[in-house]
Structure 1
Amino acid sequence: MRALLLLLATTSITLGADAPLLKDNFSDAKFPGRRASRGEWKFADNTATCTQDDELYKKNKDHGPIIFYDLAYTDALIQFAIKPDAANKTIVFTANGEDGHIFRIGFGERGAAIRAFPVDGKDHQAVSAGQEKDLKLKVGEWNKVTVALSGPKATLNIGDFTKTYEHASFARAKTNLSIGFSFGTVSVKDVVVTK
């Protein structure tokens, strides 16, 4: 009996360790910890969709619609699927900390740009951690994006593309993450963060 109790306790601890830190399937428009702003986000069919309002874009100093998740983490595996339309110009995924941005991937016409934000840099400005000129999101299709943050390393996976980037500032503690875009209509689904 004691062995069975020990086995059950070990199993529950293991299962708890594998549980996601965050899982948003967009079935709840008021999901705790999610902040959707700078546009009218619609939640339907397990998807969040927004079309940029050009007046709001200007009012927000050329920043488009965004979804934030308040979440404390340092190392994590972050996954989401995103579908841009032909009018979309940029999609940005960012991991932020107490002192501002830490890690960012920006997708646009010139491919994907990976950025680090060292705290000791002048005004906490971004520095390049990599540029992938041929890595572009497919218009009108779901693109599954996976980012693995582990210490000073960040591994990006989209389709057949996988590459690891390194910068000391990536290892800092994070307080939230965000997915934002400019122009057109973008849909997001299946946001999952695990340790």
Structure 2
Amino acid sequence: MKTILFLILTSAVFAADAPLLKDDFYVSDSAIRRAARGEWKFAEGSATCTQDDALFKKNKDHGPILFYDLNYTDALIQFAVKPDEANKMIVFTANGADGHVFRLVFTPTGMGVRAFPPEGEDHKSISLGNEKEVVLKAGAWTKVSVDLRGTKAKVKVGDFAKTYEHASIAPAKVNLSVGFSYGTVSVTELVVDK
């Protein structure tokens, strides 16, 4: 009886520590991921896609994207990205039921940090920061960490770390995504923890 109780308690502890979501990118068909707007390839633990210019135009200048449907409010989202030299933008977005909540935009001139206040009919973003020193290196993996807790977003990109605060970060989220425009981008190590 003691052994059974120990196994039940141990299982509960490990289940509590399990991530909300983890994509190892070893399979192309996954119930947790929607790969869209391009031909994504899954190999050696990463997802890679090259923008198709015809699809880019068809999708109103939106490039390839990986979507993850997941209900969460506070979470630590981690992943690594590797752009090539032709890449012009990589975008991480946390979305609520009514639209975008929080976004990181990486371009060759730096990283933009944006929040989306729910007020207003057009739901436009506001800038929380424009970090010119945060530029992703072509051909190299860069780790990205976004810790959303209440009204705060703690962002780590490589050696850079900064906390941003805005009331519009706090609402419940229903999905997250990593997308890009131009060139080829690889994504790996995507994990969402409580």
Give the TM-score, by structure 2 length. Answer: 0.95
- Map 1:127-142 onto structure 2 (within 5 A): 127-142=126-141
1:115-139: CA deviations, max 9, x gaps?
Answer: 0001113411101111101111111
Tell me the amino acid that sits aligned with residue 45 of structure 1.
E
Unaligned runs of 5+ in 2: none
| Residue 46 (structure 1) shift | 1.3
Q: Report the Cα offset of residue 9 of structure 1.
A: 4.3
- 1:110 is displaced (CA, Å) by 2.1
Instruction: Name 1:108's counterpart in structure 2.
Output: 107
Q: Which secondary structure state, in structure 1, belongs to the residue aligned with residue 127 of structure 2?
A: strand
Q: Secondary structure at the match of 1:138?
A: coil
The offset of 1:159, in angstroms, is 1.8
In structure 2, distance between residues paired with 1:74 and 1:6: 32
Gaps of 5+ in 1: none
> 2: CA distance between counterparts of 1:55 and 1:64?
10
Contact 2:113 2:127 in 1 (8 A): yes
Give aligned-pair identity as a percent.
63
Distance 2:32 2:9 in 1: 30
Distance in 2 of aligned mates of 1:129 and 1:121: 18
Match of residue 35 from structure 2: 36
Report how far residue 96 of structure 1 moved: 0.5
Q: Name the aligned partner's letter for residue 57 of structure 2.
A: K
RMSD over aligned CA atoms reads 1.4
Q: Is the contact made by 2:108 and 2:136 (CA closer than 8 Å) also made in structure 1?
A: no
Q: TM-score, normalised by structure 1?
A: 0.95
User: Match for residue 23 of structure 1?
Assistant: 22
Structure 1 counterpart SS, 2:122:
helix
> Structure 2 counterpart of 1:13, which letter?
A
Maintained 8 Å contact 2:92/2:176: yes
Partner of 1:123, secondary structure, is coil
Q: How far apart, CA to CA, are the structure 2 residues paired with 1:183 and 1:60?
A: 13
Task: Report how far residue 31 of structure 1 moved.
Answer: 1.1
Where 2:56 maps in the other structure, the secondary structure is helix
Partner of 1:58: 57
Aligned length in residues: 194
